[in-house]
């Protein structure tokens, strides 16, 4: 069940990518509960369709749809925007959430792995903004929220490809905010720290370019424990973030509550970027 909400997105239509699980799922649930008409986009069709059906039963058939969306495909983006407009009459919000993460040393990163991250994270965000902006303008304006990362603003070992793409997202967000402001479109970015989602699971983040696990179950479990210990020590709030917390940041940036905010990378990292805690 969704949490008690106040209808802050009533009358809005929002397309959310990577919506089948993790942070995107939390955002889809919250946005729908807040009154939005939501188009869920993902490549995980079984999970995405199941979530759409669940929300349709809870909130109404006409409020939620699922659409297969490979964010690296121009054709898929065109189809998704057309579906949103045909199903809901307009599109006035985009949440670029889809992303992948690969841990690897700079000198050990194969070009194919690097480019795979670029295609999803960076190219996907670019294509999404390019495809959605005309429809959002036609609706009278609205919002675009891009999911970047705190690693776009500071360094973290083993994340060359991921940090590069997230830095590009912050840069694109600022340029898009300048260009789209006269069209009534606000563009902002969320910069999460570590968030407890399948993407950040070491078993997935160390997968090869073909998606096959690169760690044994035992090694993955040991790394997960070590990572949790790291977050407990390095993050001032003492824990990893939750998808629902990022969803609330996305809601703020999509709703009228942030009506004078555009071009901003909003950091939500439990204080990780604030510095080093001693003691």
Mean of pLDDT over the chain: 92
pLDDT band at 219 (very low <50, low <70, confident <90, very high): confident
DSSP state of 122: I
Rounded mean pLDDT, 39-47: 98
> Locate tokens 């402001």: which residue?
181
pLDDT at residue 2, rounded to an integer: 45
Q: Where are the beta strands (DSSP E) in the chain?
A: 13-17, 37-42, 64-68, 93-96, 142-147, 185-192, 265-268
Given a cut of 60, whether residue 208 has pLDDT beyond it is: no
Given a cut of 70, whether residue 204 has pLDDT beyond it is: no
DSSP state of 48: H
pLDDT at residue 207, rounded to an integer: 55
pLDDT band at 275 (very low <50, low <70, confident <90, very high): confident
Domain residue ranges in the chain:
13-195+242-268
Convert the pLDDT of each residue in 179-192 to its tens digit: 999 999 999 999 99
| Residue of higher predicted confidence among 156 and 48 | 48
pLDDT at residue 218, rounded to an integer: 80
Convert the pLDDT of each residue in 99-126 to its tens digit: 999 999 999 999 999 999 999 999 999 9
| Residue of higher predicted confidence among 164 and 278 | 164
pLDDT band at 168 (very low <50, low <70, confident <90, very high): very high
pLDDT at residue 4, rounded to an integer: 56
Handedness of CA 165, 13, 266, 246 (dihedral sign): negative
Q: CATH number of 13-195+242-268: 3.40.50.300, 3.40.50.720, 3.40.50.1820, 3.40.50.150?
A: 3.40.50.720
- The question of whether 162 is a catalytic residue gets the answer yes
- Rg of the chain over all Cα atoms, to the nearest angstrom: 18
DSSP state of 269: S
CA pair distance 51, 74, nearest whole angstrom: 25
| Residue of higher predicted confidence among 47 and 208 | 47
User: Among the options 114, 150, 162, 231, which is catalytic?
Assistant: 162
Convert the pLDDT of each residue in 85-100 to its tens digit: 999 999 999 999 999 9
């Amino acid at each position: 069940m969704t949490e008690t909400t106040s209808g802050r997105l009533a009358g809005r239509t929002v397309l959310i990518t990577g919506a089948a699980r993790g942070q995107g799922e939390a955002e889809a649930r919250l946005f729908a509960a807040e009154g939005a008409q939501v188009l869920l986009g993902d490549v995980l069709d079984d999970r995405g369709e199941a979530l759409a059906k669940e929300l349709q039963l809870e909130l109404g058939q006409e409020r939620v749809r699922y659409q297969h969306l490979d964010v690296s495909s121009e054709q898929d983006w065109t189809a998704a925007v057309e579906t949103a407009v045909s199903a809901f009459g307009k599109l006035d919000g985009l949440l670029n959430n889809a992303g992948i993460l690969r841990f690897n040393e700079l000198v050990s990163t194969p070009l194919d792995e690097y480019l795979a991250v670029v295609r999803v994270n960076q190219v996907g965000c670019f294509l999404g903004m390019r495809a959605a902006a005309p429809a959002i303008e036609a609706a009278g304006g609205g919002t675009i929220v891009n999911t970047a990362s705190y690693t776009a603003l500071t360094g973290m070992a083993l994340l060359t490809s991921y940090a590069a793409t997230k830095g590009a997202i912050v840069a694109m967000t600022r340029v898009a905010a300048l260009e789209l402001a006269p069209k009534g479109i606000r563009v902002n970015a969320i910069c999460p720290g570590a968030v407890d989602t399948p993407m950040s699971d070491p078993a997935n983040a160390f997968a090869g370019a073909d998606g096959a696990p690169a760690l044994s179950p035992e090694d993955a479990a040991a790394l997960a424990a070590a990572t949790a210990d790291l977050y407990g020590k390095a993050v001032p709030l003492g824990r990893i973030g939750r998808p629902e917390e990022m969803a609330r940041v996305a809601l703020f940036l999509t709703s009228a509550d942030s009506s004078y905010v555009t071009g901003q990378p909003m950091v939500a990292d439990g204080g990780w970027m604030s510095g080093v805690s001693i003691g």
